[in-house]
Chain A
């Protein structure tokens, strides 16, 4: 088949095939997202019928005895994500500002690949470091009953989110036109005033995108949190709950999905948790997308 094509009308044929292939792959990703949502909804929504609403938002998660409250898991995930981002955001933006605005060229050339390397570290490896180093250290340093706590998870997740935040925020800062900086310096602003008063605000929407994608990365992370948070489905009672064991939605799905009977209530509730996660990250990504689009329009306006 192929050889005949090659002889007679090779170029148009192969080009046609390639165009179609690319087209199909483009459509496929849309189809896959659609199929995943349909699958999640069809497997997860029965839980809303099978488990009464009061039980779904009760106090206990103990599925083998029919306690299906997703409330401890939801709040565990949110508490860890928010704390992780609070830790990662200042560090991430600081690093981005340093790489983009302050560091001399040769340091920049070393730092950028290193940050990207950090992004490539498998989270299981970070989890190991967490268990062997961070958990014992935090227990002694903070005098906690156990180092397997939400805070340990938040530290690790912050660590995981930093490379995402740095590389996107750094891009955003690089996209700020040089004329902004020149104008600020010409008006007599110091370097610090230029960065803080002009460059960073001009890159604001890009930095917000970085924040959103960082949140997405943190929310979806599974392995590292499962290894260091202790996985106790406690309903957080206050801020000190961060220093106690917690359980996240992702860790629950990962550790229980393998053993659950297909079609059981437990199975449906796990998919419901998956739906909740999907909705969260969809929202976060949608916000990030809108923000980065707005940034593009702004850049176009500036160029014209």
Chain B
């Protein structure tokens, strides 16, 4: 009994010592000591994408180490001007003020479209409605239209599904659709909008509930739901989202995702961005629910 206890204590101590020694060794395998560091920071929407790219690139180029952090597009560009990072991620084009700030510091900002983000508006497959204007979708999510019959459907209540507020998709949908892209507009999602924690939750409820309308990144859409054609403000052309309509800019709820650099990229940064535009890296884009850049 007693000796067992002693053995156990020794084992436990040994294990602790071992684990304490082994953890730093795991992080830095001596075989490949990284020589090039790339700092990448910015848009929260792009964090997962940037991480996936960095992981794949590092596994193919062990000499390169890429660190990816979020914080928002603005934070990324500020850090770029501070020269603390090499590549900024931006889910919007660089603003004129940012270009001016950069010019004062003698920096020229270069933005490269690395992926596109499109949001599909989805309903139950049996819903007779197959197209809506941007204004109608906005009114639905603000709570001004509450019955499908008001937009040419059956007499059913509308159940609005949204991603959680911490999702980049939620914020983009709020700005682009609910507020129709108007700056200073204070409209919000109607309080009875369901906030679902995952894409799967939205697809599951939409494919099951004929009252539902939801939205999600184009890449997450499955055949169990019906995608609506959407027309831009002031246009009567209803466009279905697809890789082509997103790339030619005709589908209204889509935006470009950028990587921003100081001046034209050179060296390791250039190699990395060239790789990102390759078909291998663009496959990761589709896997994560974004739209690849067509060239």
Task: Say whether B157 contacts A145, CB under 8 Å.
Answer: yes
A residues 198-254 touching B (CB-CB < 8 Å) = 226-227, 230-235, 244-245, 247
User: Is B104 interfacial (CB-CB < 8 Å)?
Assistant: no
Q: A2-B10, A139-B209 are in contact. Are A245 and B192 (CB under 8 A)?
A: yes
For the complex, give the distance between the alpha carbons of A232 and B197 in Å.
11
Task: Say how far A65's CB is from chain B's closest CB, in angstroms.
Answer: 6
User: Is B235 interfacial (CB-CB < 8 Å)?
Assistant: no
- Chain B: which residue is nearest A136 at the CB level? B208
User: Is A63 interfacial (CB-CB < 8 Å)?
Assistant: yes
Which of B159, B165, B193 has the most CB atoms of chain A within a 10 A radius of its CB?
B165
Task: Say how far B43's CB is from chain A's closest CB, in angstroms.
Answer: 13
B residues 196-214 touching A (CB-CB < 8 Å) = 196-197, 201, 204-205, 208-209, 211-212
- Chain B: which residue is nearest A256 at the CB level? B166
Q: Which chain A residues lie closer than 8 Å to B5 at the CB level? A: 14
User: Is B96 interfacial (CB-CB < 8 Å)?
Assistant: no
User: Is A147 interfacial (CB-CB < 8 Å)?
Assistant: yes
User: Is A283 interfacial (CB-CB < 8 Å)?
Assistant: no
Q: Which chain A residues lie closer than 8 Å to B192 at the CB level? A: 232, 234, 244-245
Task: Say how far A75's CB is from chain B's closest CB, in angstroms.
Answer: 13
Q: Which chain A residues lie closer than 8 Å to B164 at the CB level? A: 231, 255-256
User: Is A162 interfacial (CB-CB < 8 Å)?
Assistant: no
User: How many residues of chain B get a CB closer than 8 Å to chain A's CBs?
Assistant: 32
Task: Say whether A6 contacts B209, CB under 8 Å.
Answer: no
Which of B158, B166, B212 has the most CB atoms of chain A within a 10 A radius of its CB?
B166
Q: A6-B6, A135-B205 are in contact. Are A247 and B159 (CB under 8 A)?
A: no
Q: How large is the interface on A (under 10, 10 to 19, 20 to 34, 35 or more residues)?
A: 35 or more
Give the contacting residue for B205; candidates A2, A148, A256; CB below 8 A. A148
Task: Say whether B188 contacts A65, CB under 8 Å.
Answer: yes
Task: Say whether B211 contacts A232, CB under 8 Å.
Answer: no
For the complex, give the distance between the alpha carbons of A10 and B166 in Å.
58
For the complex, give the distance between the alpha carbons of A67 and B191 in Å.
11
For the complex, give the distance between the alpha carbons of A132 and B208 in Å.
10
- Chain A: which residue is nearest B157 at the CB level? A145
The proximity string for A residues 129-143 relative to B, scoring 1 for CB distances below 8 Å and 0 otherwise, is: 001100110010000
User: Is A181 interfacial (CB-CB < 8 Å)?
Assistant: no
User: Is A108 interfacial (CB-CB < 8 Å)?
Assistant: no
Task: Say whether B197 contacts A255, CB under 8 Å.
Answer: yes
User: Is B171 interfacial (CB-CB < 8 Å)?
Assistant: yes
User: Is A112 interfacial (CB-CB < 8 Å)?
Assistant: no
Knowing that A72-B191, A231-B197 touch, tell me 8 more A-B residue pairs with CB under 8 angstroms. Answer: A10-B2, A62-B165, A64-B165, A67-B188, A145-B156, A145-B211, A235-B191, A258-B166
List 6 interface pairs A-B (beta carbons < 8 Å), by A numbering. A6-B6, A14-B6, A148-B205, A227-B201, A230-B195, A232-B193
Sorted from nearest, which 3 A-B pairs have the closest CB atoms?
A259-B166, A230-B194, A145-B157
